[in-house]
């Protein structure tokens, strides 16, 4: 609970015809400090009062009176602005962070609600490419953020472990498979077999028929097909686990596409019973033409199912199992049309929860300077990217701080953090142009810059050399820079909520960069530890608050906060 916002609500509620919840939703933090600490925009009242927002703001100003925590009220254009009591702001905010520590910004917003997040979802029997990085880290961050807001989160790794490509792989394995190679380097061997199948199928098109036949056998539960497919899946999961271990990411469910095979007939029967399905060129489809969407293909003429059939089935299963408040699909923008079709079919099937399905889409990731091997054609392995980043981070540490303890451990945390932050700090729907020099810059808008600021804060607390206590003099904070820091810290809980509402971790990334920038400006200008005990104790108390929020923010992004760098 923000006491300042609570008091603003008290001041406003008798004069505006809005509920307290509506008032709280509308209250803003102005972009510039000269505009006040909080602002109430009057646009929403203009229509019902039939007056301009500027006139409403000036009328309200005549009626509103400051209270205990709010020192000054004034209007600027269509806004009513509020200035808070600086000493009380420092006391409430810093004490709140100190007492709550890693629970700062936690909320009961999601109490009793479940959010299912479908993320990562690599294809088995294929390399874990860098293309899966975005889904993996965005999904993981949203999981942590929603959990912080009190939701129960279910992370689902919807593995790409079904479809005609497995018929192709089985054919390739039976024709050209080498057991020794498969055991020693399973993923590359399977990938090579997949490539070989397509090369051979150009010369012998009948191989495509064989592949369809083997996938049909797999769908029908053929023992030989299942045994071969299971081996491919087991090998793949073992490889994927290496990546998830590096990123410290785990899942509550690995129910991939194959899991829903046993429920497919039930789904198709339901679609038919509701009169939604029709035959088109011997295939079973749902015609979505009147919704300006192409037909949604449920079953091909050879009776094989498709992604859409499995996603519709999965959504029904997930609602029955988890009774979710929201189901998020963290999947690339290229799949936008697919999800529009799936969501529309579920809506037409009469499921009211279809409105709670959200496609959290994102752009591509591109490498400007490829200083890592692709191993195979144009496939960039995610493991190679992470290892390269750790290697470069270690090289920078060797040059800048050769005496640092546990260099390898720090390089690991910085290298991984740099890649994750570069991804998350870019707005989801934008493409990422990945440049190593920018990503690992300790002074730029990067993960290492935030980690380095955190390490600097830890160093100051170590230098202080005593336990940090909360009984400090809050009137010490008189500088504008100190006030800016404290206001930033006060804004952290709000930023977490906005990040969740927008499904946009880049908002939290921008916040952390701003907080570090505000702190570093203060640090360059002022000495923290001086002979003045009163001032030192108070400023270290503030430093402790900044450290807590940076560490917490990084953790919510899935990034470590090293104490030494």
pLDDT of residue 443: 81
How far, in Å, CA of 65 to CA of 8, rounded? 10
Q: Tell me what pLDDT residue 377 has.
A: 52
| Half-sphere exposure for 3 (CA within 13 Å, toward CB) | 14
pLDDT of 220 reads: 87
Print the SS3 string covering 125-185: CCCCEHHHHHHHHHHHHHHHHHHHCCCEEEEECCCECCCHHHHHHHHHHHHHCCHHHHHHC
* Chain centroid offset of residue 276 CA: 35
Predicted pLDDT of residue 374: 36
Beta strand pairing call for 296-299 and 277-280: unpaired
Give the domain extent around 225: 163-250
Residue 65 is part of a domain; what is its CATH number? 3.30.1360.70
Whether 108 is in a domain gets the answer no
Q: Is residue 364 very low, low, confident or very high in pLDDT (cuts 50, 70, 90)? A: confident
Amino acid 371: pLDDT: 40
- Could you give the dihedral angle defined by the CA atoms of residues 136, 262, 309 and 140, in that order, rounded to the nearest 10 degrees? -10
In a domain, residue 412? The reply is no
Consecutive H or E run containing 79: strand 79-84
Domain count, the chain: 2
Question: Within a domain: residue 27?
Answer: yes
pLDDT digit string (tens) for 288-325? Answer: 999 999 999 998 887 777 889 999 999 999 999 999 99
SS3 category, 123: strand
Q: Is residue 200 one of the residues assigned to a domain?
A: yes
Residue that terminates a domain, selected from 223, 250, 277: 250
Model pLDDT, residue 518: 96
Tell me how far apart the alpha carbons of residues 418 and 438 are, in angstroms, rounded to a whole number.
Answer: 10
Q: Is residue 224 part of a domain?
A: yes
- Report in angstroms the alpha-carbon separations of 118 from 99, 258, 318, 329: 34, 15, 10, 5
Domain end (from 50, 84, 118): 84
Backbone angles phi, psi at 344, to 5 degrees: -65, -40
Q: Decide if pLDDT at 372 tops 90.
A: no
- Taking 60 as the threshold, does the pLDDT of residue 538 lie above it? yes
In a domain, 230, yes or no: yes
55, 84, 113 - which closes a domain: 84
pLDDT band at 446 (very low <50, low <70, confident <90, very high): very high
- 381-420 pLDDT, tens digit per residue, is 889 889 989 999 999 999 999 999 999 999 999 999 999 9
Whole-number Å distance between alpha carbons of 526 and 496 = 30
Closest-CA residue to 138 (of 561, 511, 445, 424): 424
In tens, the pLDDT along 59-116 reads 999 999 998 899 999 999 999 999 999 999 999 999 999 999 999 999 999 999 999 9
Task: Decide if 168 is inside a domain.
Answer: yes
Greatest Cα-to-Cα distance within the chain, rounded to the nearest angstrom: 86
**For residue 369, what pLDDT is reported?**
52
Q: Is residue 315 part of a domain?
A: no
* Tens-place pLDDT, residues 170-224: 999 999 998 999 988 898 899 899 889 989 999 999 999 999 999 989 988 999 9
Which two structure tokens, joined as six digits, stand for 73?
């009220």
């Amino acid at each position: 609970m923000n006491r300042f916002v609570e008091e603003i609500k008290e001041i406003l509620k008798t004069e505006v015809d809005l509920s307290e919840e509506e008032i709280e939703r509308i209250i803003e933090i102005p972009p510039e400090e000269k505009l006040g600490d909080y602002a109430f925009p009057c646009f929403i009242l203009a229509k019902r009062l039939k007056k301009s927002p500027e006139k409403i703001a000036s009328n309200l100003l005549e009626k509103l009176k400051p209270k205990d925590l709010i020192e000054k009220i004034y209007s600027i254009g269509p806004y009513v602005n509020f200035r808070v009591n600086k000493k009380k702001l420092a006391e409430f905010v810093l004490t709140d962070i100190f007492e709550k520590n890693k629970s700062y910004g936690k909320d009961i917003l999601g109490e009793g609600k479940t959010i299912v997040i479908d993320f990562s979802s690599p294809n088995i029997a294929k390399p874990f490419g860098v293309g899966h990085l975005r889904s993996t880290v965005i999904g993981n961050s949203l999981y942590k953020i929603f959990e912080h807001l009190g939701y129960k989160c279910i992370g689902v790794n919807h593995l790409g472990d079904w479809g005609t490509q497995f018929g192709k792989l089985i054919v390739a394995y039976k024709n050209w498979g080498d057991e020794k190679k498969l055991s020693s380097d399973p993923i590359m061997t399977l990938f090579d077999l997949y490539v070989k199948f397509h090369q051979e199928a150009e010369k012998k098109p009948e191989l495509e028929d064989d592949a369809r036949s083997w996938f049909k056998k797999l769908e029908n539960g053929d023992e030989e097909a299942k045994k071969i497919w299971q081996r491919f899946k087991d090998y793949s999961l073992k490889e994927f686990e290496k990546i998830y271990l590096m990123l410290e990411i785990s899942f509550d469910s690995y129910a991939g596409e194959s899991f829903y095979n046993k429920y497919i007939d039930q789904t198709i029967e339901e679609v038919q019973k509701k009169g939604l399905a029709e035959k088109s060129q011997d295939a079973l489809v749902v015609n979505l033409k009147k919704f300006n969407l192409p037909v949604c293909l449920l079953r091909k003429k050879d009776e094989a199912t498709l992604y859409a059939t499995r996603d519709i089935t999965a959504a029904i299963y997930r609602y029955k199992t988890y009774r979710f408040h929201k189901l998020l699909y963290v999947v690339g923008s290229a799949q936008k049309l697919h999800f529009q079709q799936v969501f529309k079919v579920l809506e037409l099937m009469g499921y009211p929860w279809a409105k709670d399905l959200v496609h959290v889409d994102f752009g591509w990731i591109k490498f400007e300077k490829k200083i890592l091997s692709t191993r195979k054609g144009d496939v960039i392995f995610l493991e190679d990217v992470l290892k390269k980043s750790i290697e470069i981070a270690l090289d920078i540490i060797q040059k800048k701080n050769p005496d640092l303890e546990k260099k390898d451990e720090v390089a690991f945390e910085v290298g991984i953090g740099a890649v994750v932050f570069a991804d998350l700090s870019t707005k989801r729907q934008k493409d990422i142009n990945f440049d190593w020099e920018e990503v690992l810059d300790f002074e730029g808008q990067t993960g290492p810059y935030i980690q380095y600021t955190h390490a600097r804060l830890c160093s100051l607390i170590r230098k202080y050399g005593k336990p940090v206590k909360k009984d400090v003099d809050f009137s010490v904070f008189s500088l504008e820079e100190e006030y800016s820091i404290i206001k930033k810290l006060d804004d952290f809980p709000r930023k977490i909520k906005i990040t969740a509402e927008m499904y946009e971790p880049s908002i939290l990334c921008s916040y952390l960069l701003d907080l570090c920038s505000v702190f570093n400006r203060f640090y360059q200008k002022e000495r923290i530890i001086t002979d003045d005990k009163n001032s030192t104790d108070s400023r270290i108390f503030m430093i402790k608050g900044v450290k807590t929020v940076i560490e917490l923010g990084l953790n919510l992004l899935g990034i470590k906060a090293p104490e030494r760098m």
